[in-house]
Amino acid sequence: MGAYRADEDYDYLFKVVLIGDSGVGKSNLLSRFTKNEFSLESKSTIGVEFATRSIRVDEKVLKAQIWDTAGQERYRAITSAYYRGAVGALLVYDVTRHVTFENMERWLKELRDHTDANIVVMLVGNKADLRHLRAVSTEEATAFAEREKTFFMETSALESMNVENAFTEVLTQIYHVVSKKALEIGDDPAALPKGQTINVGSRDDVSAVKKDGCCSA
Amino acid sequence: MTQPQDPFSYPPIDPVNFDLIIVGTALSESVIAAAASAVGKTILHLDPNSFYGSHFASLSLHDLTSYLSSPHSLPSAAATTTDSDDVVVIDFVQQPLCSDAEIATYDESAFLSENSRKFSIDLGGPKALFCADKTIDLLMKSGAAQYLEFKGIDESFVYEANAGLANVPDSRGSIFRDKKLSLKEKNQLMRFFKLVQQHLDDTQEEKIPEEDLEIAFVSFLEKMKLPPKIKSILLYAIAMLDYDQDNNEVCIELLKTKDGIDSLALYSSSVGRFPNAPGALLYPIYGEGELPQAFCRRAAVKGCIYVLRMSVVSLLMDKVTGSYKGVRLASGQDLYSHQLILDPSFMIPSPLSSSPRDFPSEKLQMLGQRDIKGMVARGICITRSSIKPDVSNCSVVYPPRSLYPEQLTSIKALQIGSNLAVCPAGTFILYFSTMCNDADEGKKLLKAAMNALLTLPVSGNSESIPSVQSDSEDIKPIVLWSAFYIQKLIMCKLEFISSTPTPDGNLNYDDLLDATRKLFNQMYPDEEFFPKSTSPEDPTDEDDNGLTLDS
């Protein structure tokens, strides 16, 4: 379930996934955005499932559920289940390692193979603070983003540069897609109602029933 | 299947020493990976395929066709190194679990090709979960439930000779509403369910006598004077037995009454457990392949290292003691571990002519000998309409002799529609399976079952299939595409090298997971299977945890 509306503490919940080569800084982007923390420890991601943070757009509370890879990208072993229901993705490369940018095409293909065509994709060039080590020019990345029809931003998780902007932009764009799609579904009599989602694992007595506002994938 | 890229473009695996190396990402391997990671073991989990799940995967139409059509072949190691001073290198042989595949496209091949990726077809189907399964409890206990969503299977049917599909009366309400049971039959069934309910109720004193619990369930049902129709429903549609209980000569598994009561208990406690599940069964959205992936994600979060598209080619054994030391990857890299779990398709060739003269090879002989405990014949069909109007997802059981007099086994079937995200809108996937002793027997059974409910376009060998009367009330769905294949049932274990169970013929996973838990306990006798712990690393957001059921 990528996006659904609830009456509790948020209006929309959006699943967003982080993908890209090992070591490009995906986990630090996540911890910077959700907890304002940075770690110089370079060990592969262990222990992090996903993190959440809410932002406000057009008087709506958008809750982002941002998934990390658990290190499964190191030997190209991300599960197809990881992509289920994702409505947004950050495609992350390291501006100081050109090979990580070269692999963006493969990551984008994997993403497109497993997600809905409407998914919002942001190309992210991380570690932009390492100016003297830059190996990928902004022009080269901009051209790729335009060709592949993705958004693009350069960030630094270390210096907090553009991290907030990157996530906020993705969430805002998802919200626009969702709002537009909700209008379209309203006009389409063939759209089947997806029904209700109930959490039965954590609480046997379910009091909060969440209704789908729209569907993806 | 997308052609796997150069497997050697990966960086070398780092570290090279592990507590456990697992080859294959089927359900058992994935559960053990998650269980061992949860207790702090260091694990490397590999799969030669480009997808997770091995024989429990859910694949696109194209990938499924490729998987069933192409035999596995192990690549030779990139670096041809000789035996080192302290290890003997013994090459694996890989024997595919699936064989005798027949695939046919009858209609709309362009549509099927264009929509290949919209299919998520189970290799081990039909498979579902009972709402009260131990599998559900395991999903919650392990934390894997948070990655999964389920929907209920709308209806359960039993096929009756010359009458077609009848509802399985699984609750007081459904017995009351049933239109095909006579009033007398309804009363008999109600009384029997009440008897079982009282027996299971600890507050009740009236119990089924001990001597009755030890006799064959079929004899107990006869003692209860239940008519054949009711007996058939209880034995095959609710207890889900495979073999004809009335035929003493061929019945391989005669069920005892106490086990029959347990089956009825599982079924009845499943009905109504989840408010949005209309019947006893659940099915994971996107297919059964989501289950192994959920456990693998769980293991990865705890530090397990995952590699796809990487096979193992050799076993490394200590030259002096003959004990296990490690494996050699297809990339040429040698890795070491205390224990090894192998996908059941990996084998050691029996005659070890290449091993040194003084090498203790008796141990490996045992690994080369596989216990083949039977075969499962599986069939898959894609149709444009449902076998039952207005029903998307349903299960069907064909009791023994419901199709033709010599039919000695039950056949299980499951239809899944597009609302479970396994096929394009307007299509349905049907899975069939039965136990068999050889491929021809299995396929004959499956084709008879298919012909009872579907229109299978005429092929050369369809003449040999016994004709079955169809329910004239419904128009039979036309099959666009079909596949048949045979899976072997294998199990074995040798000291530090284990092999996991293969997909079985059961509808649910409980037997398989029991075997998996036993394997875990053998490997790690002092460790608990998924101990309860509140790890600070786990997400604290409760709203995002737990099993989700979509209606």
**Chain B residues close to A81, C-beta within 8 Å:** 147, 286, 290, 293-294, 297
Q: Given this model, what pLDDT does residue B146 score?
A: 83
Q: What type of residue is A49?
A: E
Is pLDDT of B3 > 50? no
Secondary structure, 3-state, A14-29: EEEEEECCCCCCHHHH
The B residues from 45 to 64 touching A (CB cutoff 8 Å) are 47, 51-52
3-state class of B295 per DSSP?
helix
Residue B157 phi, psi dihedral angles, 5° rounding: -120, 155
Q: How far apart are CA B272 and CA A200, in angstroms?
A: 13
Mark yes or no for CB contact A71/B286 under 8 Å. Answer: no
Least confident of A48-62, A172-186, B269-283, B439-453: A172-186
Residues with Cβ within 8 Å of residue B505, at least 6 apart in sequence: B242, B374, B376, B412, B433, B434, B435, B489
Closest chain A residue to the Cα of B300, Cα to Cα: A70
d(CA B53, CA B67): 12
Tell the residue number behind the tokens 């070398």, with chain if given: B12
Do residues B470 and B477 lie in contact, with contact meaning Cβ atoms separated by under 8 Å? no
> How much of chain B, in percent, has pLDDT values that exceed 90?
50
pLDDT at A164 over 80: yes
> CA–CA separation, B291 vs B506, rounded Å?
16
Which stretch of DSSP H or E encloses residue A106? Answer: helix A104-114
Does B293 sit within 8 Å of A80, measured CB to CB? Answer: yes
What does the pLDDT read at residue A206? 29
Whether residue A92 contacts residue A32, with contact meaning beta carbons closer than 8 Å, is answered with no
> Which of B533, B140, B271, B539 has the alpha carbon at shortest distance from A202?
B140
Strand partners, A120: A88
CB contact under 8 A, B294 and A200: no
Q: How far is CA B249 from CA A215, B214, B252, B374, in A?
A: 55, 20, 8, 17
**pLDDT of amino acid B369:** 56
pLDDT classification of A43: cutoffs 50, 70, 90: low
| Full set of structural domains in chain B with CATH | 171-270 (1.10.405.10)
Q: Residue A74 pLDDT more than 90?
A: no
List all residues 6 or more positions away from B265 whose beta carbon is below 8 Å from its beta carbon: B196, B200
B411 token code pair: 């056949």
CB pair distance less than 8 Å for A196 and B419: no
Give the integer Cα–Cα distance in Å for B437 and B297: 37
How many CB atoms are located within 10 Å of the residue B141 CB? Answer: 16
Chain A partners within 8 Å of B545 (Cβ): 199, 201-202
* Tokens 């950050």, located at residue: A90
pLDDT (0 to 100) of residue B476: 87
Q: Can you tell me the distance from the alpha carbon of B166 to that of B150, in angstroms, rounded to the nearest whole number? A: 25
Q: Which of B286, B301, B305 sits opposite A84 (nearest CB)?
A: B286
Contact A198 B549 (CB under 8 A): yes
Span A12-185 CATH architecture: 3-Layer(aba) Sandwich (3.40)
Q: Residue B40 has which token pair?
A: 């702090």
For B297, the closest of A81, A203, A206 (CB atoms) is A81
Domain layout of chain A by residue ranges: 12-185
Tally Cβ neighbours within 10 Å of residue B186. 15
Of the listed ranges A168-177, B311-320, B408-417, B457-466, the least confidently predicted one is B457-466
Tell me what pLDDT residue B203 has.
Answer: 84
What is the overall mean pLDDT for chain B?
A: 84
* B 9-28: CB under 8 A from A: 10-11, 13
Asked whether the predicted pLDDT for residue A44 surpasses 90, the reply is: no
The ipTM estimated for the assembled molecules is 0.86
**Per-residue pLDDT, B371:** 64
Average pLDDT over chain A, rounded to an integer: 80
- pLDDT single digits (tens) B164-187: 999 898 887 888 778 778 988 998
Give the 3-state secondary structure of residue B184. Answer: helix
The whole-number pLDDT of residue B525 equals: 94
For position B368, what pLDDT does the model report? 60
pLDDT at B324 over 90: yes
pLDDT of B313 reads 92
Percent of chain B topping pLDDT 70 = 82
Q: Report DSSP state, residue B409.
A: B
Residue B77 at interface with chain A, using a CB cutoff of 8 Å: no
B22 forms bridges with which residues in the sheet?
B45, B341
Query: Secondary structure of chain A: what % helix, strand, coil (to 5)?
Result: 30, 25, 45
- Name which of A79, A90, A94, A82 is nearest A22 in CA terms: A94
Per the DSSP assignment, residues forming a β-bridge with B46 are: B23, B307
User: Could you read off the pLDDT of B369-400 as tens digits, one per residue?
Assistant: 556 768 899 999 999 999 988 899 999 999 99
Mean pLDDT of A116-129: 94
pLDDT digits (tens, 9 = 90+) for B486-535: 988 875 555 557 888 888 899 999 888 989 988 999 899 999 899 865 44
First to last CA, chain B: 33
How far does chain A reach from its first CA to its final CA, in angstroms? Answer: 9
B426 backbone dihedrals φ, ψ, rounded to 5°: 85, 5
